[in-house]
Structures are given as structure tokens and as C-alpha cells.
Amino acid sequence: MWSDVVCPWCYIGKRRLERALELFEHADRVRVRWRSFQLDPSFPPGVSEPVYDSLSRKMGAPREQVRSMTEQVTRVAAQEGLDYDFAGGFMVNTFDVHRLIHLARTRGLEGRAQERFMRAQLVEARDLSDADVLVEVAAEAGLEPQEARRVLEGEEHAEDVREDIALARRLGATGVPFFVMDRAVGISGAQSVEVVLSALDKAHRTGRG
């Protein structure tokens, strides 16, 4: 699954994937791998901007229109048990977050890190442009704080993030969430549990994995 932690539909898509896996007969044969994607790679690193201000500027729309738009997403998220906080949230460059998630993969903590960073961004409205906050969240996912800080201070896992993004583009992804199952079945967007379950069934019948 390709995703970005600032993407509200990605967290919704994650929850729907989890629900589909609960219903999938062969879930014990499924391993979820999280792939990096940046919705806005041009956003300056180390800077944060209130979500409503950022979306208003990017869309050229009044804040009230942006607020109305996010309220719709908030209602959908609530159906998945997610209490989004757009009003208090920040838009950030997520490249370093993705590097830490790649670090977590090497420690067997990929799923925990993905969940923890999504929640920190979209529910807890923490400022993920701040290196100290990134280290705190990484530690909450089980990573060693010193190791997380070392990664942030260097370039480790930067190429891993770039490779994920390049692969998504080769596969034709222009946004996230984007799922590829068993290298055979692809679905785009936060589809319903039924659609995700159907894709899992189709991938299993293809039998390439």
C-alpha cells in the first residue's frame, strides 16, 4: 500500500484494508508492505503550516470552503473510528517521516510506525516538521530514539523513499492510497471494504504469490 501520512484518505484506506483482512479467508498468507508516497514533495522541509491555511492557499479557496470540505472527510473517518483534527493540524513535508518508516521496517516495526505516524498527524495534530516530535513518535512506535535521531541527521533511507515513489509512478499511480496485491491486482483510492475484499480474492485466485 502506497500512502502518505498527511493523506486523510490513506488512514481511512488503512482501516478498510484491516477490516477486509478480518473477513478474508486467507489473511494468514497476507503481508502488508507500506510504500512511500508524497502528496506534496514541494512543501519545504522543516516548515509547518496550519492545514486550513495550506489547503486554502493551494486550492485558491476561502477557509470556510476548505473547512466544509474537510468536515465531509471527518465524517467518513469517524465511521472508521478515526477522530480527525484538521483544525489543529499542520501540513508538513513528509520525506523524513517516510525515512523513519523505512527504518522501522528493518526493525520489524513497519506496521506500528505507519499507524503511529498517521495517528500523530491526523488525529493528534502533532507537528511532524519538528525533529524532536519525529523522534518522540518513532519511540512510541518502538524505535530507539538515538537511532531515529541519527537517521534524521543523515541521509539514511532517502533512496528507499525515492525508489518507492518512482515505482508508484511506473505503475501509474498519481495519488494515494494505492494498493497492489500479489503484483497482479491494483486498486486506487480508499475503496469500500467490499471492493478491497474482492481485490484480495482476485489476487488469491491469480495465485502468483
The gap from C-alpha 97 to its chain's centroid, in whole angstroms, comes to: 10
The arrangement of strands across the sheet holding 185-188 comes to 35-36, 2-3, 178-181, 185-188
Angle at 138 between CA 132 and CA 141, to 5 degrees: 150
DSSP tag of 46:
T
Contact 195, 207 (CB under 8 A): no
User: Can you state the angle between helices 110-122 and 95-106, rounded to 10 degrees?
Assistant: 150
In the chain, where are the structural domains located?
Answer: 2-207
The pLDDT assigned to 209 comes to 46
Cis amide leading into 41 (omega within 30): no
Task: Specify the pTM.
Answer: 0.96
pLDDT band for position 208 (cuts 50, 70, 90):
low
The pLDDT assigned to 207 comes to 72
Dihedral sign (CA 189, 40, 18, 70)? negative
Question: Mean pLDDT over all residues of the chain?
Answer: 96
Can you tell me the distance from the alpha carbon of 83 to that of 90, in angstroms, rounded to the nearest whole number? 16
Can you tell me the distance from the alpha carbon of 151 to that of 176, in angstroms, rounded to the nearest whole number? 25
Work out the percent of the chain whose per-residue pLDDT is above 90.
97
Can you tell me the distance from the alpha carbon of 121 to that of 140, in angstroms, rounded to the nearest whole number? 14
Take residue 83 and report the three cell numbers written for it: 477522530
Mean pLDDT of 89-114: 98
Please check the confidence at residue 35 and state whether its pLDDT lies above 70.
yes
Mean pLDDT of 59-86: 96
The pLDDT assigned to 183 comes to 87
Take residue 47 and report the three cell numbers written for it: 516548515
Mean pLDDT of 50-64: 95
Cell 479557496 belongs to: 61
Q: Which CATH number fits domain 2-207: 3.40.30.10, 3.50.50.60, 1.10.760.10, 3.40.50.300?
A: 3.40.30.10
The pLDDT assigned to 184 comes to 87
